[in-house]
Amino acid sequence: MSSNADGMNYAPQGKPCPVVKPGEFVFAAAHLDHGHIYGQCNALREAGAELRYVFDPEPERVARFLKTYPGVKALRSLDEVLEQPEVRLVAAAAIPNERGPIGCRVMQAGKDYFTDKTPFTTLEQLAEARRVAAATGRKYFVYYSERLHVECAEFAGQLIRDGVIGRVLQVIGLGPHRHGPPGSRPDWFYRRKRYGGILCDIGSHQCEQFLAYTGATDGVVTDARTANYTFPEHPEFEDFGEAKIEGNTGASFFYRVDWLTPDGLRTWGDGRTFILGTKGTIELRKYLDVGREGAGNNLYLVTERGEQHLQVAGQVGYPFFGAFILDCLNRTEHAMTQEHAFKAAELCLHCQMLADRRRDPAL
């Protein structure tokens, strides 16, 4: 696994586990605004997909991308990407408020779409993507990497499905991030309409995990707030957010996200998840175990049989991506349902809207 200090180029690498033959599933990358595009491409390639084309309006980003993926052909526009008949999927990591409209263009061109999170910044964008997905039959999928590209998070889901901790009653998600040094972030990162707000942006990961671990298909936002504690020079920015949701299974959810990770931490954020079940508990320490040597992917399990610390790096893999490729080929929904991907986005948007109203009742 590789990442820089602030997570901008966080790009996990796993063992190749192809589910298709060479050339059977061709995809393109476009709009390389966020470094997560490298994680998206790595995962698809490890599952057997062929990355054949790339487009970005900035030549410097394309050149950097081609150093990582030599042999990929650079195209002049998204339209040119969409004209390639062999391209089945477009992976993109555009500026957040552009992700929904780009996805609709991709689906209308007859391709499936795989976007970085957060997939939308407004409910109107979500509604349009739902409409276009239904009309075209194409997929609008989201790189919810804090579960899909973290082995201990994947393993927690397996334990829950196997009934090891019983019925899940509560999930607590903590998603701290490091901002990085001054000047390391682009201008859009601080513009409210462009990045969507903290509960919508990095909070989308958390809402997706809540649905996945509880089995909930809907929820009600009961509380949410955001703040800007440390960036007065960027008044539209939010460096702290928290929210609560009650799911339709009866399970509850609390999450906190922030841009306040101190420089002394050896990675970009101490992401953790706590899961309470009727028969046990799970704690995930995803990226490191603070104060201890060693890697991330730590899972702490407590049941009536005792306590266990499981370090699962390199043992679980990333099965979502192969299943996703097969879903695209077979038009199935085994990796994740379309409604699940959309519902996670909807919940984080409602969290952000409630927090916005608390900060400005006129909204």
**Domains of the chain, start order:** 147-318+350-359 (3.30.360.10)
Report the distance separating Cα 19 and Cα 27, nearest Å. 15
Alpha-carbon Rg for the chain in angstroms: 20
Contacts for 137 with CB less than 8 Å, ≥ 6 apart: 331
Return phi, psi of residue 67, to 5°: -65, -35
| 31 within 8 A of 92, measured Cβ to Cβ | yes
Q: What confidence tens digit (pLDDT) does each residue in 244-257 have? A: 999 999 999 999 99
pLDDT in tens, 198-233: 999 999 999 999 999 999 999 999 999 999 999 999
Flag whether the pTM goes above 0.85: yes
The 10 Å Cβ neighbour count of residue 93 is: 25
Query: If you write DSSP's letter for every residue of 190-258 in order, what string do you get?
Result: G-HHHH--TTTTTHHHHHHHHHHHH--S-EEEEEEEEE-SS-TT-TT--SEEEEEEEETTS-EEEEEEE
CB 171 within 8 A of CB 273: yes
Residue 228, φ and ψ in degrees, nearest 5: -125, 100
For 170-188, how does the pLDDT look when each residue is reduced to its tens digit (9 = 90+)?
A: 999 999 999 999 999 999 9
Cα-based angle 356, 360, 363 (whole degrees, multiple of 5)? 75
Helix, strand, coil percentages (3-state) for the chain, rounded to 5, are 35, 25, 40
Phi, psi dihedral angles at 26 (to 5 degrees)? -100, 135
* pLDDT tens sequence across 126-185: 999 999 999 999 999 999 999 999 999 999 999 999 999 999 999 999 999 999 999 999
pLDDT at 1 over 60: no
Confidence of residue 295 (pLDDT cuts 50, 70, 90): confident
Q: Which residues contact 33 (CB under 8 A, 6 or more apart)?
A: 93, 94, 95, 186, 188
In terms of Cβ atoms closer than 10 Å to its own Cβ (0-12, 13-18, 19+), residue 45 is middle
